[in-house]
Amino acid sequence: EDQVTQSPEALRLQEGESSSLNCSYTVSGLRGLFWYRQDPGKGPEFLFTLYSAGEEKEKERLKATLTKKESFLHITAPKPEDSATYLCAVQAANTGNQFYFGTGTSLTVIP
């Protein structure tokens, strides 16, 4: 069964304290792995798409990496405005448009 597991469930960081979020997945043929940011009361905001192992994408303080079993979202020197829930989703080769989402990591960055 296709699955996506995110860890940790919640993370508190001091401003400037770098860390990583994990997304582990099991799918039958990966079409794409997606990272989203979601602020309270809002819809998920697209961040990155990764298609194959070894691929990396960067945007400001965020860097996403992908292996055959997991993806990491690295946050370098975070700021309070980076506080949000980060969602990971995968699209499998045999399930058409369907995305499988994890439950997310709630990140709080303390000034």
Partner 1 sequence: ETGVTQTPRHLVMGMTNKKSLKCEQHLGHNAMYWYKQSAKKPLELMFVYNFKEQTENNSVPSRFSPECPNSSHLFLHLHTLQPEDSALYLCASSQDNGWSYEQYFGPGTRLTVT
Footprint on this chain of partner 1 (rule: CB under 8 A):
4, 31-32, 34, 36, 41-46, 49, 51, 87, 89, 91, 96-103
CB of 38 to partner 1, least distance (A): 8
The strand pair at 105-110 and 10-14 is best described as: parallel
CB of 18 to partner 1, least distance (A): 26
How would you class 75 by CB atoms within 10 Å of its CB: exposed for 0-12, middle for 13-18, buried for 19 or more? buried
State the Cα–Cα distance between residues 35 and 86, nearest whole angstrom: 7
According to DSSP, residue 84 is labeled E
According to DSSP, residue 103 is labeled -
Cβ distance to partner 1 smaller for residue 34 or 78: 34
CB of 111 to partner 1, least distance (A): 26
Cβ distance to partner 1 smaller for residue 13 or 37: 37
